[in-house]
Structure 1
Amino acid sequence: MKPIIKALCATLVATTSSVSLAAPQAPARQQPNIVVIVADDLGFSDLGAFGGEIRTPNLDALARRGLRLTNFHAAPTCSPTRSMLLSGTDNHTAGVGAMAETRVLSGDPNFPSGWGYEGVLTNRVATLAERLRAGGYFTTMAGKWHLGVKPPQDPHARGFDTSFALLQGGGNHFGGGKGPEDDPSSRANYTENGVEVGTPANFYSSNTYTSKLLAQLAARPRNKPFFAYLTYTAPHSPLQALPEDIARYKGKYDGGWAALRRQRLERMKALGIVAKNTIPAPLADDEEWNKLTPEQKKIESRKMEIYAAMVDRMDQNVGRLIANLKKDGAYKNTLFFFLSDNGPAGEGPELFANLPVMANFIASSDNSYASMGSRKSMIFYGKNWAQAGSAPYRLYKNTTAEGGTRVAAFVTAPTLLKRRGFGRAFATVMDVVPTMLQLASIKTSNVVENHAVAPIRGKSMLPYFDNKAPRVHSADETISFELHGQRAVWQGSWKLLRLQPPLGNATWALYNLDLDPAEQRDLSGQYPERATLMAKAWEAYAREAQVAH
């Protein structure tokens, strides 16, 4: 019997009462409304409040009124983060030890499968929506789901009273899939309250998701607090945006990615996001921009203009949500938690080399300059712009380097939280569930709706938010991540990192992030005992979470 299953069975045996609904405690404060907003592949420095030049006044205003979390970590890619965000435990226990798409993209017949690698959010865990609904909340979501496409895996079956969901990991932002509609690996399935539906004629992802959520909130029962989960697909590829938004950024990126990175870093230092003596990770080729022809530079600049337009449009829609909640009278009792699901995406069309149908579709798309950003185009912004987005950190999405996991995040609650400014304490996406449950005065039970579930691994951030604790995790606690062979262990200011080729050499390296946030000086030779102890901590985690080696 699997260790986690034994633990779950023990929990059931030990439960002598019939209590199964994470019953609410006597509330110490009024249960707040909770809004969790997820951006898709957003760079750490994209938002104005984090040093970016992109027009994001609504998110910036929220962030500046609250607590900007400058040391908050997600998983390296989309669905693993979402599984951790909704379950409060690690991605393997939740069922997403690897992305479902990665098995196909890898072309590896020996790719891990079975327990922990189902590629969907399993019933081993309870979702935040299930727990909050059991505690008296109305629960609703709109946007990207990416945790399973079958009916039992639909958000409507996982605790959301109402939902409008893109089941897959992405699609055409103007409607439809990101490849041939007759190919299951590239089509887009949308469901509304568990029933498959089409998309409106005027569909644009960020606009439609927000409109759907606003309609759901308008129809909510007024005698309950609500949990709203708004999960944008912006700025995930394909890069597609509305013409009026693209026009706003014409010529803004003609200086190239290295110049953008330097400009952002200077603003981050001025804002206090990073220390003034921060030395960024080097670009793979700092002079690559200067090697491009004028036509190539024009095309590369256009990619970033479209990307910025997508972020801009997402922000406009967050503004719609805020205005609606203020008009509705719900704003003052609402906590907002914003995050990106991982670092910026460095991949390009080569990602789909093992999917001939997708490769052919991309090749046949209209990626001419005049068409870039339209429904007919299929473009990516690539590793160089991604490294501008992850500044000053190393690398990007799909790695456990800081650029892949340290994400822009903030929490804002107009009347609820005491701490403001910058929150520099280490925290992870697993900490969101226990935080929201404590905020709502709901017990973190291991039995939800008569079903034994895995314990929550994360820790509540609420004492830290309330200025009652100096940190979220103790300085000697180890927190481990693994995805697609990439590994990381954090302990206080220390990090043990192991990257697979071609980005690493599959050996452990030790960094002091307080002194070296860009992970440039390996200290494993200088501190071998610490490196050994942290590696042992990772092995213990791997056994517990049944990580495939």
Structure 2
Amino acid sequence: MEQRPNFLIILADDLGFSDLGCFGSEIHTPNIDQLAADGIRLLNHHTAAACSPTRAMIMTGTDNHLAGVGCMIEFKQNESGMKRWSGKAGHEGYMSQDVACIAEILSDQGYFTAMAGKWHLGMRPTHGPSARGFKRSFCVLPGCCNHFGWEPVLENGMAANPAGGRVLHCVDGKRFHIEPNKTEDPEGFYSSDTYTTALIDYLQGRSDEDKQKPFFGYLAFSAPHWPLQAPKTVRDLYKDTYLEGPEALRQRRLAKLIELGIIAPDVVPHHVVSPMVPEWDTFMPEEKFKSSRAMSAYAAMVHQMDVNVGRIIEFLNKSGDYENTFIILMSDNGAEGAAVEARPHMGDKIKAAIERYYDNSPENIGAWNSYTWLGPFWAQASTAPSRLMKMFPSEGGILVPAIVRAPKITPPLVPGGFSRALTTCMDLAPTILDMIGVTLPLNGEGSKVLFRGREVTPMRGKSWKGYLEQSGHADPEAGEQYAVHRSDEAIGWELHARAALRRGRWKIVHLEKTWGGVGQGDYGWELFDIISDPGETKDLSGEEPGQLKELLALWDRYVVECGIIWGEDAFAPGLSQEEASWLHDSQFEQQRTWMMTPAGESPCID
């Protein structure tokens, strides 16, 4: 009987398209580069525009709206978010019971399942990894927190900290206390190091019975998500690297992408868009210096993440598991470029908290008690030639670096090479199940299937197995781009009223005018030929009205199929908490409950 493969998903948080050495970066990533040399770089791999929707799609193999994360829980806390999404199915803000988690399925198939790192798919114990199929888990529940484990809110009478994310970890569903690493001790807590150690410990410490099973591992780094923090010894390696500014970096990255053959020499990059902050050239010298130090801290986070990728690969080699392990390494979305200080629901609070608790002096940026982020200029250096960045369904927000290393890859695919096949993060779960011969819950388009006594939504993703092994091609007449997804298949994206849909070479994008969108009102649809214009620089909606009309009809179908809150229905009242309590959630109330729960216990959350 053929040995079943192990599976390992390695997920970076807010990593831009060109932030790895093998994708054109100056950042030192030798371990990830070696993984790319052993595998294939996916040059056309797409996610959702932000973190928790992508994580839901990876875990379930279906659209984020069908999985319960049609909106991010953080965006439901303000008045507009409450009106738009509260009490509406598919927009709970956590992974719902309407889908099967890949860890649940693999556990039922005899796999040992373990995860370490960022969860961001629900705060309740019933929503955490232990409840969704992971036998062992060490996770941070919120979307972000201090990478050295420091929580000023605990030292200052429970006053608010910058963005609502607490240092809130749990082990196997029970509260775990992190000792703040205020000295940046290499033996103390640092997110990337500690999460990797946890996953290695879980795999190494399996019982004799569990060692007979194949494993599914999920290593979900919270790096390089803000706050930008990394060990000083690593930060110092990059302290002078970015003094020329983001445009110089952008041009260097573009040149390297061309040199590597990743993009064509004649690609027209989209221009940098930054309506929320002043232009870089207007910055004072000290502001430019501080900003360059933030980028240095970001690079150090990527560098240290690579060190830990090396650790997990070294473990797999020593244990004899590497050759039989299917590994994918990818980012959860494009680079984060938000001007956090300008966000209306958190900007003033962040400024006040930083002034009270943190030291953002230039020499301290990236330290345990600093709190900084990249901003739009550096982010769009990472996403170039694509348009915009995280939170947008333009290519800069959804086109991510990805590497696949599989036990069986068949020519013309070769180790160290590229794939230009259109793929999505929804494809991971179907691929994994296809590789072990499991069909549930793949059988059916639209109709629900039975799993663990409940009805769940079938997976919308497509398996890569036939493509990787050259035993199947979704659309042989259309070429490599459509080896996984047919050229006539429509793939949609929507998050917080920004939207896109692609069929073949054509893509429509719906953005507000503030960020370069068009239309009669504040929003409108643009049309791009994404093959000849990957930077989305030329709107063809006026020249190709027939294509626009067809794609808009497909968009309307996608809205219905996935239950998207759209158009006039966006602010219609949802079901009340009495009518449907499971559609309501409060991340911040639940965080407070967790914070008051003793270590080793689970909170009681109604």
TM-score, normalisation: structure 2: 0.83
Tell me whether 1:131 sits opposite 2:124 in the alignment.
Answer: no
Query: For residues 533 and 178 of structure 1, what CA distance do their matches in structure 2 show?
Result: 53
Residue 362 of structure 1 aligns with which residue?
354
What secondary structure, in the 3-state scheme, does the structure 2 residue paired with 1:93 have? coil
1:358 is displaced (CA, Å) by 4.2
Provide closer, same or farther for how the CA distance between residues 116 and 329 of structure 1 changes in structure 2, counting only shifts above 3 A: same
Paired letter, 2:263: V
Deviation string 1:40-68 (CA, Å, 9 cap, x unpaired) is 00000000111111000001111122111
2:189 to 196, 199, 203: 203
SS at match of 1:121: coil
Deviations 1:362-410 (A, max 9, x none): 3322111122111211111100000001011000000001000001111
Aligned positions of 1:426-465 closer than 5 A:
426-445=422-441, 446-465=449-468
**Alignment partner, residue 509 of structure 1:** 526
Q: Which moved more, 1:144-153 or 1:354-363?
A: 354-363
1:535 equivalent in alignment to 2:538: no
- Three-state SS of the structure 1 residue aligned to 2:247 is helix
Structure 1 residues 271 and 171 mapped into 2: Cα distance closer, same or farther (>3 Å)?
A: same
Aligned pairs for 1:242-257 within 5 A: 242-257=231-246
State how far apart, in whole Å, the 2-side matches of 1:350 and 1:539 are: 36
Aligned with residue 78 of structure 1, among 30, 51, 54:
51
CA contact (8 A) 2:45 2:402 kept: yes
Query: Structure 1 CA distance, aligned partners of 2:274 and 2:451?
Result: 51
Task: Give the 3-state SS of the residue equivalent to 1:241 in structure 2.
Answer: coil
State the partner residue of 2:168: 189
8 Å contact kept, 2:230–2:300: yes
Q: Which residue of 2 aligns with 1:373?
A: 366
Corresponding residue SS for 1:408: strand
Contact 1:333 1:416 in 2 (8 A): no
Query: Are 2:294 and 1:277 equivalent residues in the alignment?
Result: no
- Select which of 367, 371, 390 maps to 2:383: 390
Say which of 519, 542, 545 aligns to 2:536.
519
SS of residue paired to 2:203: helix
Are residues 98 and 259 of structure 1, via their aligned partners in 2, closer, same or farther at CA, if it must alter by over 3 Å?
A: same
Q: How far did 1:30 drift?
A: 2.4
Question: Residue in 1 aligned with 2:143?
Answer: 169
Q: Aligned residue for 2:17?
A: 44
Aligned ranges 1:52-67 → 2 under 5 Å: 52-67=25-40
**Match of 2:429, as an amino acid?**
V
- Match of 1:233, SS state, is coil
Distance 1:129 1:417 in 2: 28
Please say which of residues 179-188 and 138-147 is displaced more in the overlay. Answer: 179-188
Deviations 1:298-329 (A, max 9, x none): 11111111000000000000000011111111
Distance 1:106 1:409, change over 3 A: farther
Count the aligned residue pairs: 522
Q: CA separation in 1, counterparts of 2:263 and 2:404?
A: 18
Q: Does 2:214 correspond to 1:225? A: yes
**Secondary structure of the structure 1 residue equivalent to 2:514:** coil
Give CA-to-partner distance per residue, 1:186-232, whole Å, 9 cap, x none: 32321101111112451100000000000000022211000000000
Please identify, of 412-421 and 98-107, the stretch whose mean Cα deviation from structure 2 is larger: 412-421
Q: How far does residue 84 in structure 1 lie from its aligned partner after superposition? A: 0.6
Is this contact kept in 1: 2:143–2:165, CA < 8 A? Answer: no
Query: Using a 3 Å threshold, how does the CA distance of structure 1 residues 84 and 177 change in structure 2: closer, same or farther?
Result: farther
Pick which of 343-352 and 51-60 moved more. Answer: 343-352
SS in 2 for 1:75: coil
- Contact kept, 8 Å, 2:389 with 2:396, in 1: the verdict is yes
Q: Distance in 2 between matches of 1:55 and 1:459?
A: 33
1:453-510 Cα distance to aligned partner (Å, 9 max, x none): 1110111111111223241111111011110001111111111111124212311111
Query: Structure 1-normalised TM-score?
Result: 0.92
Asked if the contact 2:273/2:376 (under 8 Å) is kept, the reply is no
Aligned partners of 1:461 and 1:415: how far apart in 2? 12
Determine helix, strand or coil for the equivalent of 1:476: coil
Q: Find 1:302's aligned residue among 293, 308, 314.
A: 293
Per mean C-alpha deviation after superposition, the further-off stretch among 394-403 and 266-275 is 266-275
Aligned mates of 1:46, 1:179 — CA distance in 2: 33
Amino acid at match of 1:280: P
AA at the equivalent of 2:374: Y
Asked whether the equivalents of residues 332 and 415 of structure 1 are also in contact (C-alpha less than 8 Å), the reply is no
Tell me the SS of whatever aligns to 1:248: helix
Mapping 1:490-505, distance limit 5 Å: 490-503=502-515, 504-505=517-518
3-state SS in 2 of match to 1:44: coil
User: Do the aligned partners of residues 292 and 350 (structure 1) sit closer, same or farther apart at CA in structure 2, a change above 3 Å counting?
Assistant: closer
- Corresponding position of 1:348: 339
Note the C-alpha offset of 1:126: 0.5
Which position in structure 2 is the counterpart of 1:120? Answer: 94
Q: Does 1:472 align with 2:468?
A: no
RMSD of Structure 2 on Structure 1 (CA): 1.9
In 2, are the aligned partners of 1:89 and 1:456 still within 8 Å (CA)? yes
Cα distance change, pair 256–263 in 1 and its aligned pair in 2 (3 A): same
Compared CA separation, residues 438 and 179, structure 1 to 2 (3 A)? farther
Would the aligned equivalents of 1:31 and 1:441 in 2 still touch at CA under 8 Å?
no
Question: What is aligned with 1:88?
Answer: 61
Determine which of 309, 318, 321 is the counterpart of 2:309: 318
Q: 1:366 to 1:340 in 2, by over 3 A?
A: same
Structure 1 spans left out of the alignment, 5+ residues? 1-26
Alignment of structure 1 residues 14-53 onto 2, 5 Å:
29-53=2-26
Distance 1:108 1:130, change over 3 A: closer
Q: Is the 8 A contact 2:17 2:383 kept in 1?
A: yes
1:145 corresponding residue in structure 2: 119
Alpha-carbon separation, structure 2, partners of 1:352 and 1:104: 14
Q: Matched residues in 2 for 1:302 and 1:411: separation?
A: 32
Aligned partners of 1:178 and 1:254: how far apart in 2?
Answer: 31
1:332-389 CA-partner distances (Å, limit 9, x unpaired): 1111101100000111332554246544213322111122111211111100000001
Letter of the 2:327 partner, please give it.
F
Indicate the SS of the match to 2:433: helix
Distance 2:82 2:34 in 1: 49
1:158 aligns with 2:132: yes
Partner of 2:406: 413
Q: In structure 2, what is the Cα distance between the partners aligned to 1:351 and 1:77?
A: 18
> CA 1:351 to 1:135, structure 2 compared with 1: closer, same or farther past 3 Å?
farther
What runs of 5+ residues in structure 2 fail to find an aligned partner? 182-187, 442-448, 474-479, 567-606
Q: Is the 8 A contact 2:167 2:178 kept in 1?
A: no
